[in-house]
């Protein structure tokens, strides 16, 4: 089992860790700052620095079949550390920060377009949500304007934990019908955007909405009779 430091502090870019197991399909550490693929967000890239200064490039991060151990997928042919070795695990921060900004922007998009979310994807400074918007007409300029208004409020983003049973008693907290919040460990993390949004989420977020920067709505597509896909992109900081 891997301790998930990225859930406590998304801004922690590196950590010391101990290798639990090491195979070409993935290197398991006792703790990590690498976000593992899930919730529509790709796994982090980065490096593991070994004692002898060898750098192992990590091309992706995934959960093992137990869903509790995180595997750091090394580049093909990379040297593998031995189990028990101490390493320094460091994420590609520029990439992660783009995803944190995009992910947080999608929370705000779900406020601006308050419809059930049926799917979503977090890219690098871009992302999309699919809405079951019924008969509502989604207007690109209107959504973009209101999204940037919320970003400009620079609202604080914070997290807290509740028991699975509390979430089950308050199912209205779940906006995403296709992406179930990470349950099963007995507790669920809630992400609050001050005065704007509260929902269970296992992803990585910025600390204030102002960090998102300028957002554009790059497309609204029909994905079925009542389903609309809204794509956003963020400007460079
Ligand atoms: Zn989130």
Ligand 1 centroid to Cα of residue 84, in Å, is 33
Ligand 1 centroid to Cα of residue 106, in Å, is 8
**48-78 pLDDT tens trace:** 999 999 999 999 999 999 989 999 999 999 9
The first and second tokens of residue 151, run together, are 């970003």
Q: Report pLDDT for 181.
A: 58
**189-210 pLDDT tens trace:** 889 999 999 888 889 999 999 9
Q: Report pLDDT for 50.
A: 96
pLDDT band at 180, cuts 50/70/90?
Answer: low
pLDDT band at 182, cuts 50/70/90?
Answer: low
Enter the pTM of the model: 0.92
CA distances (Å), origin 8, targets 2, 76, 158, 190, 225: 13, 31, 10, 12, 40
C-alpha to C-alpha distance for 167 and 23, rounded to whole angstroms: 37
By percentage, how much of the chain surpasses pLDDT 90?
A: 77
Ligand 1 centroid to Cα of residue 42, in Å, is 13
Q: In what order do the strands lie in the sheet with 197-200?
A: 157-163, 187-193, 197-200
Q: Report pLDDT for 176.
A: 59
pLDDT band at 179, cuts 50/70/90?
Answer: low
Ligand 1 centroid to Cα of residue 185, in Å, is 18
What is the SS3 assignment for 85-114? CEEEEEECHHHHHHHHHHHHHHHHHHHHCC
**118-132 pLDDT tens trace:** 899 999 999 999 999
pLDDT band at 172, cuts 50/70/90?
Answer: confident
Ligand 1 centroid to Cα of residue 119, in Å, is 13
Mean pLDDT of the chain: 92
Tell me phi and psi for residue 209, to 5 degrees. Answer: -65, -25
């Amino acid at each position: 089992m891997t301790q998930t430091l990225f859930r406590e502090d998304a801004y922690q870019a590196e950590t010391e860790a101990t290798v639990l197991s090491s195979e070409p399909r993935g290197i398991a550490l006792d703790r990590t700052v690498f976000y593992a693929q899930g919730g529509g967000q790709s796994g982090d890239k980065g490096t593991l620095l070994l004692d002898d200064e060898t750098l192992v490039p990590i091309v992706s991060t995934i959960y093992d079949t137990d869903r509790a151990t995180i595997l750091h997928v090394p580049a093909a042919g990379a040297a593998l550390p031995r189990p028990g070795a101490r390493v320094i695990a460091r994420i590609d921060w520029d990439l992660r920060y783009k995803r944190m900004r995009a992910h947080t922007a999608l929370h705000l998009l779900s406020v601006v377009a308050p419809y059930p979310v049926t799917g979503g994807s977090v890219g690098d400074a871009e992302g999309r949500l699919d809405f079951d918007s019924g008969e509502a007409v989604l207007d690109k300029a209107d959504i973009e304007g209101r999204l940037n208004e919320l970003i400009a409020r620079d609202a604080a983003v914070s997290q807290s934990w509740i028991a699975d049973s509390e979430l089950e008693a308050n199912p209205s907290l779940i906006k995403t019908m296709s992406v179930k919040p990470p349950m099963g460990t007995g507790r669920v993390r809630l992400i609050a955007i001050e005065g704007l949004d509260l929902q269970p989420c296992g992803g990585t977020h910025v600390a204030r909405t102002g960090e998102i920067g300028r957002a554009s709505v790059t497309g609204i597509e029909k994905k079925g009779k009542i389903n609309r896909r809204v794509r956003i992109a963020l400007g460079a900081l």
